[in-house]
Amino acid sequence: MQEFIANLDIYMLLLLFFAAFVAGFVDSIAGGGGMITIPALLLAGISPLQALATNKLQSSFGSFSATLQFYKKGYINIKSKIPFAATAFCFAAIGTTAVQFLQADFLSKILPFLILIFGLYFLFSPSIKEAKQTKKFNPVYLSLTIAAVGFYDGFFGPGTGSFFMLALIVIGGFGITQSLGEAKLYNFSTNLASLIFFAIGGHMLWGVGLLMALGQFIGANLGSKMAIRYGIYIIKPLVVVVSFLMAAKLLYDQLYGIL
């Protein structure tokens, strides 16, 4: 680890820190921070599996920072959400174990279209509101969806926070800001699970990850404060823009053979 850091010049380290800061800010509002940090890690010459592992280390700090802010403002009832968070953790652990032995080629091909559909839904759906909807949600359906998204985050990852938020809005009937807050909690659970199991696999670059973690923590803290302050007026447009950019980038990567 120390030898790897020594091989990176100060400018690359600053780039990684800044990428993590921006990713933390964006991710705390709209998701998609991995679209910034993973390419930055690959640009630094880090192998794909090490990049995925190190990204989980630094993003854990960002999701924790955002979760803390939403909790302080009363958007998360931790006690009632523990079963969902535990479900996300367990299935992310399974996904993280699986990705170390399997290829994620199929997911990488369909993901741009899933994210594009997600962005269009946010843009046009009348159910995207600030207030909670009156309909009752089915906890079984929500648990199954959280389990699926948790596995996906451990196995592949991009757009996880967005998928959690969509599930909470569509299945749970929650308002957009509350959904974002709860999505950060579940995303922290999946990040923590992936962090632990990637570390067990020996793929973590601790020095690089902790440097980026500082940037993530600061950026996520600022981003979550803005999301809480401005609510739907900043969350919805940023989610739509980030979704379209993510879809475009993933399609570009596929067409030009970029990992």
> pLDDT tens digit string along 28-49?
887 778 878 888 888 888 887 7
pLDDT of residue 49: 78
Q: Is the pLDDT reported for residue 220 higher than 90?
A: yes
Contacts 24+ apart (CB under 8 A), 35-41: 35/158, 35/242, 35/245, 35/246, 35/249, 37/212, 38/158, 40/15, 40/16, 41/16, 41/208
Mean pLDDT of 54-75: 92
Residue with tokens 């807050």: 181
Residue 80 to residue 168: CA distance in whole angstroms: 14
Q: Alpha helix (H) ranges present in 101-231?
A: 105-124, 139-155, 160-170, 176-200, 206-230
Residue 171 to residue 138: CA distance in whole angstroms: 7
pLDDT of residue 259: 46
Provide the phi-psi class of 228: left if phi over 0, else alpha when psi is between -120 and 50, else beta.
alpha
Name the token pair of 196. Answer: 């632990």
Residue 167 to residue 165: CA distance in whole angstroms: 5
Q: Is the pLDDT reported for residue 3 higher than 60?
A: no
- What's CA 149's distance to the chain center, in Å? 11
Q: What is the pLDDT of residues 85-112, one digit of tens each?
A: 999 999 999 998 887 776 656 656 766 7
Rounded-to-10 torsion of CA 195, 199, 202, 203 = 20
Provide the phi-psi class of 205: left if phi over 0, else alpha when psi is between -120 and 50, else beta.
beta
pLDDT of residue 5: 60
Q: Is the pLDDT reported for residue 171 higher than 80?
A: yes
Residue 59 to residue 189: CA distance in whole angstroms: 11
Q: Report which of residues 40 and 145 the model is more confident about.
A: 145
Q: Give the single-character DSSP code of 125.
A: -
pLDDT of residue 215: 95
